[in-house]
Structure 1
Amino acid sequence: MSYIDQLNTAASVTAITLSLISWVPGVIGLVLNVFIFTRPALRHEPCSLYFLTSSYFNLFVIFIILPVRTVTSSLNMDLGNYNIVICKMESYIFYVVRVISCWLIMLACFDRFLHSSTNIRKRQLSSLKTARLTIVITIISIIILYSHMVIYYKITDDVNKLGNIIPTCNAQIGIYRTFIAMWHMTFYSLCPSCLMLVFGYLTLNNIRQQRQVLPITSVNNQIHRRTDRYLLRMLTAQVLVIIISTLPFSIYRVYSSFTINIAKSTFRIAQENLAGQIANTVPYFAHSSSFYLYTLTGSVFRKEVCKIIPYCSPRRRNRVHMSHNQRNQISVVQIDR
Structure 2
Amino acid sequence: MSSSVVNITSSNLDAINALKYSQNLFIQVWCLTMFSFGTVGHILSIYVFTRRSLYPNPCAKYFLASAIAGLIVVYTLVPLRLLQYVYRVDAFASSDVMCRILSWFVNWIKTLPSWFIVLACADRVLCSSSSATIRAWSSIRVVTRATPLTVLIVGLAYVHIPFFNRVNTASSCVTDSGTYATFYGIFNLFIFSMGPPVCMLIFGLLAIRNVRQSVKRMAPNTTPTGTQNQLQHRQKATDRQLMQMMIVQSMFFILTGTPNSFYFFYSSAISNEVLDALQIARLNLLASVTAFLTNGGACMSFYVFTLSSQLFRRELIRLFNCHQQIMQVIITVTRNNQIQPI
Q: Shorter-chain TM-score category?
A: 0.7 to 0.9
CA offset digits 1:254-303 (Å, max 9, x no partner): 55566566543111121112112211221221112211111111111111
1:210 aligns with 2:220: no
Check conservation: 2:38, 2:300, Cα contact below 8 A: yes
Residue matched to 2:112: 100
- Any idea what SS the aligned residue of 1:118 has? coil
Residue 281 (structure 2) aligned to one of 261, 264, 270: 270
Change (3 A) 1:229 1:320: farther
Residue 326 (structure 2) aligned to one of 294, 316, 321: 316
Alpha-carbon shift at residue 76 of structure 1 (Å)? 2.9
Check conservation: 2:59, 2:124, Cα contact below 8 A: yes
Change (3 A) 1:246 1:320: same
Instruction: Write the letter of the residue equivalent to 1:316.
Output: I
Instruction: Write the letter of the residue equivalent to 2:104.
Output: Y
Of 252-261 and 9-18, the range deviating more from structure 2:
252-261
Of 287-296 and 98-107, the range deviating more from structure 2:
287-296
1:63 aligns with 2:75: yes
CA offset digits 1:157-206 (Å, max 9, x no partner): 6xxxxxxxx33212111100111111011011222111111111111111
Residue 300 (structure 2) aligned to one of 289, 301, 309: 289
- Any idea what SS the aligned residue of 2:235 has? helix
Q: Which whole-Å CA distance do the structure 2 matches of 1:308 and 1:214 have between them?
A: 40
Structure 2 portions without partners, runs of 5+: 1-12, 334-342
**TM-score if structure 2 supplies the norm length?**
0.86
- Any idea what SS the aligned residue of 2:244 has? helix
Q: Which whole-Å CA distance do the structure 2 matches of 1:12 and 1:212 have between them?
A: 55
Check conservation: 2:80, 2:91, Cα contact below 8 A: no
CA RMSD of superposed structures (Å): 2.2
Change (3 A) 1:279 1:11: same
Residue 220 (structure 1) aligned to one of 231, 252, 256: 231
Instruction: Write the letter of the residue equivalent to 1:39.
Output: R
1:235-274 to 2 correspondence within 5 Å? 235-253=246-264, 255-256=266-267, 262-274=273-285
Alpha-carbon shift at residue 59 of structure 1 (Å)? 0.4
Residue matched to 2:126: 114
Residue 316 (structure 2) aligned to one of 299, 305, 308: 305
Alpha-carbon shift at residue 220 of structure 1 (Å)? 2.3
Residue matched to 1:54: 66
CA offset digits 1:74-122 (Å, max 9, x no partner): 2332132241111111110000111111111000000000011111001
Identity score, percent: 26
Residue 145 (structure 1) aligned to one of 148, 157, 165: 157
Q: Which whole-Å CA distance do the structure 2 matches of 1:80 and 1:26 have between them?
A: 23
Residue matched to 2:51: 39
Residue matched to 2:34: 22
Q: Which whole-Å CA distance do the structure 2 matches of 1:322 and 1:124 have between them?
A: 50
Check conservation: 2:126, 2:138, Cα contact below 8 A: yes
Change (3 A) 1:67 1:256: farther
1:122-133 to 2 correspondence within 5 Å? 122-133=134-145
Check conservation: 1:182, 1:254, Cα contact below 8 A: no
Change (3 A) 1:254 1:176: farther
Residue matched to 2:340: none
Check conservation: 1:233, 1:297, Cα contact below 8 A: yes
1:87 aligns with 2:99: yes
**TM-score if structure 1 supplies the norm length?**
0.87
Q: Which whole-Å CA distance do the structure 2 matches of 1:76 and 1:176 have between them?
A: 27
Residue matched to 2:185: 181
Residue matched to 1:329: none
Check conservation: 2:110, 2:295, Cα contact below 8 A: no
Alpha-carbon shift at residue 18 of structure 1 (Å)? 2.0
Change (3 A) 1:321 1:38: farther
- Any idea what SS the aligned residue of 1:125 has? coil
Instruction: Write the letter of the residue equivalent to 1:143.
Output: G
1:12 aligns with 2:16: no
Check conservation: 1:178, 1:258, Cα contact below 8 A: no
Check conservation: 1:103, 1:192, Cα contact below 8 A: yes
Alpha-carbon shift at residue 27 of structure 1 (Å)? 0.9
Check conservation: 2:248, 2:304, Cα contact below 8 A: yes
* Larger Rg over CA atoms: 2
Alignment coverage as a number of residue pairs: 315
Check conservation: 1:104, 1:135, Cα contact below 8 A: yes
Q: Which whole-Å CA distance do the structure 2 matches of 1:169 and 1:249 have between them?
A: 21
Instruction: Write the letter of the residue equivalent to 1:105.
Output: I
- Any idea what SS the aligned residue of 2:172 has? strand
Alpha-carbon shift at residue 321 of structure 1 (Å)? 10
